Structure 1
Amino acid sequence: MPSLVTSPPRELQHLSMDTDNKKAGKCRGGNLKSRLQCRSTQATNSDGLCFEEMSQWSNSLDRLLSSKYGMSIFQAFLKSEFSDENIEFWVVCEDYKKIRSSFRMSSRAKKIFKRYIQAEAPREINIDHKTREVIRRNIMAPSAVCFDDAQKIVYGLMERDSYPRFLKSDIYRTLLDSTSESVKM
């Protein structure tokens, strides 16, 4: 059965909060901040992640989410705050829109509903009752747009709440500062 959650790219998986798998050598820092500092120098040198791209993330949430690295780092930040269900739902909806098979669409819509939409869902997102009911009706005959209203609400919540916190966070500031310093060298 395919997973509903998109995992970060292989090269950024060590940004997770799992301290059991610490990197050897100078990237041995036990917290996310020190791992991001180390990662930023590596990213600037070998992965193509640069100060200019990261500084663009502060222009809009769209810019952040359209970047492979930005998305992964934002997800890591939200996980560290135990509030990653919104970005997870948004990503799942983006993947859902790409499904062309009506059977797969129906099956996936039901899974998404059970995981994120229904009351007391394991990863319940914060949407109003009216939107929840519209989606309940929409999944009876699912289409690519049946989660659009909830996705817009979730995007708005992230844009007004999580995204500004991310931009002010130590994670983003440290990453931006350390890449800025490596550019100056």
Structure 2
Amino acid sequence: MKTFVFLFPQFKFCAPKEEVYFKMLGETELRTSRMKDSNSRNKDKEKDKDKKSRLSLLLAKSGSHENVSPEKKPSAKSNNVPPEEALRWSDSFEDLLGHPDGVEAFTKFLRTEFSEENIEFWLACEDYKSTESATKLLSKAKQMYAIFIDSEAPKEINIDHSTKQAIEKNMAHPTQTCFDTAQTKIYALMKKDCYPRFLTSDIYLMLTKRKGPVAMTRRRSRSFVFSERGETTTAWL
């Protein structure tokens, strides 16, 4: 039988030709397999990187305030709000959310309760409803679903199952109103549950320069009281 001399250390210097051939074939297949595995892992990493990038896109920008993670120090801008301006926020929840500094102070408070996802979702909805481009609408809808709605969302909001299902059905062809129901429910939750606690929090009291809870004030009205002698006196109520 003829022998084949192969000048590579991984093979015998003298081996049957068929044996050398199959060893070479095996090495080639092994290298090809390793290259495929490496390419597959690289693609998976790119997908994960792209997904994380998309998930962080909305978190980096949420409407009228800068969204800061709990680990980062919040902006001190709200500390410069005039006390008389901050006092107006106690008139209504709408007045609070209508002021950028009010939103920032309220967000800071929600972080202390680990519920900042509520205001972030509400702000994201406000931005979403102002989007006119169908392409951007689809992109934002998917981002919002991944961040706030999905069962594994990093900032999942507390909404009922039927509302969540309705949003999921609209993801293929989202409209400007597909998050409206969820936004309304989160708004009501913040107004009824979080807003009253915010008005008694240290964060708000520091802004208003008060040491105690802000009392809901009303304008006094003048009334006339008649005495037994028929005389009238003025009383303030």
CA distance in 2, matches of 1:174, 1:122: 31
Q: In structure 2, what is the equivalent of residue 144 of structure 1?
A: 176
Secondary structure, counterpart of 2:142 in structure 1: helix
Q: In structure 2, what is the equivalent of residue 68 of structure 1?
A: 100
CA deviation map 1:153-181 (0-9, x unaligned): 10011011111111110110111116xxx
CA distance in 2, matches of 1:165, 1:91: 20
**1:149, CA displacement in angstroms?**
0.2
Matched residues, number = 152
Secondary structure, counterpart of 2:188 in structure 1: helix
CA distance in 2, matches of 1:132, 1:140: 14
Q: Which has the higher strand share?
A: 2
Moved more, 123-132 or 133-142: 133-142
Contact 1:131/1:150 (<8 A) preserved: yes
Does 1:54 pair with 2:108? no
Which of 82, 91, 104 is 2:123 aligned to? 91
**1:70, CA displacement in angstroms?**
0.4
Q: In structure 1, what is the equivalent of residue 41 of structure 2?
A: none
Secondary structure, counterpart of 2:162 in structure 1: helix
TM-score norm. by structure 1 comes to 0.73
Does 1:3 pair with 2:35? no
Q: Which has the higher helix share?
A: 1
Q: In structure 2, what is the equivalent of residue 175 of structure 1?
A: 207
Q: What residue ranges of structure 2 are gaps of 5+ in the alignment?
A: 1-53, 211-237
Q: In structure 1, what is the equivalent of residue 192 of structure 2?
A: 160
Question: What letter is aligned with 2:120?
Answer: E
Secondary structure, counterpart of 2:153 in structure 1: coil
TM-score norm. by structure 2 comes to 0.58
Q: In structure 2, what is the equivalent of residue 101 of structure 1?
A: 133
**1:50, CA displacement in angstroms?**
2.0
**Greater RCO (Cα-Cα under 8 Å, separation 6 or more):** 1
Secondary structure, counterpart of 1:88 in structure 2: helix
Q: In structure 2, what is the equivalent of residue 122 of structure 1?
A: 154
Contact 1:17/1:80 (<8 A) preserved: no
Contact 2:147/2:156 (<8 A) preserved: yes
Equivalent positions of 1:8-47 (< 5 A) are: 18=72, 40=79, 43=80
**1:17, CA displacement in angstroms?**
6.5
Percent identical across equivalent pairs? 42
RMSD value over aligned CA atoms?
A: 2.5
Who wins on radius of gyration, i.e. which is larger?
A: 2
